[in-house]
Structure 1
C-alpha cells in the first residue's frame, strides 16, 4: 500500500526541497492562516517547481500533514530532572515557550482552527500530539517506579493534563500563557496525579 503524499521522508538532495517547502508553508500558516495556503504559491515562495510540490504532497492537507510530522520530529526531547514534578514543569515550560513564540504560536493556532473543519488536518494534528505525548509519558512512568505517583497512573493522561489548560487558555481568551501559567499547570497535574485521579488500573 502506498503512503499518503508528503508522508514519506525524503533524503539526500530532496531533503532541501522538503525543508524549503515546509518552511514556506509554515510561514503562510503563521502569517495568513490555513485559508491562504495554496500549493502554487508555496512552490513560488520555496523556489521549487510547482509540479514537484503537487506530485509530492498532492493537496494542502497533505502538505499540512507533513508539516506536522516535521514539527513533531523537530520538537525538543523530554527533560529528565529526577522528579516527576520537575519533569512536568519542564514539559509545561516547553509548551508555554512554543505557544509564546510569535511564529510557532501563530502556526499552532492556524492548524488548530483548520483541524476543526478538515478531517485530514485533524488527523495529522492528533498524530502530532500522540508523538509528543509518547515522548513525555516515560517521565510519569519513571515517577510511578520511584514511588512518587500511585501504581496504575495513566502516564499519557497526566502529560495531556499538563498542556491542556495552556492550550485552552490561549484558544478561549487569546492570551498567550506565561511562565506562571505553566507552573500552575504542572503543579495542578502533579497534585491530581499524586492524589490518584489518573489511576486507571
Structure 2
C-alpha cells in the first residue's frame, strides 16, 4: 500500500450531502473483486449523460459538462471536498477503490459513514473530518479560486490552506501508523513473517504427521 505522509493537491468540491456508495460506484460495475478498473466509472451516473454498463467504451460516452469531475479546473485533483455523511449506503469496498484509482488520496467532509470510513484507511486513503463551518469555508475558497490547493499533513494532523491557515483533525494512532508506513492488513501480517516461519518450523518438528503427504 502506498504511504501517506503529506498530500498537496487540487481540490474538487462535491457540494452534496449523503453521497452513498452506489453513487460513488454504481452496482453494475461490481462484478470484479480486483482493486482496479473502477476509476473510469467513479460517480458514473453524475459524470456521463447515458446509462453506464460494464465493458462500455467510455471514450464514446457523452460527459455531463456541469459535473465537477468533467470541468477542466479540477483535472488532476487529489483531494475531494464533500458534505455530511459521505459514503453512506451499502458496505462495498469498491467505493474507496474507485476514488483511489481516479486519483483521490484524501476526502474531507464533516462526517462519514462508518464502514466507508474504515475501508478508506485500509486502502491507503485518508478521510478527514472537519467541522461544517471549516468545510463551508473551504467550499467558498475553492469556488472563488481556480486551481485551489490544500496541503494535508498526516503527521501534523492538519489541513493547511494557501494562506497558511491550519485546521486540525483527529485520527486514530494505529490507523495513522499504518498510513504513514503504507501498511494494509497483509503488510501488517508480513511484519511478523519471521515469527510465523519460526512457528511453522516448530510445528513441523513437534507434529510432523500434519505435514505428511497423503
Q: TM-score, normalised by structure 1?
A: 0.31
Q: Larger C-alpha radius of gyration, 1 or 2?
A: 2
> Is the strand fraction higher in 1 or 2?
2
Q: TM-score, normalised by structure 2?
A: 0.29
> Is the helix fraction higher in 1 or 2?
1
Which protein, 1 or 2, shows the higher relative CO under an 8 Å CA cutoff with sep ≥ 6? Answer: 2
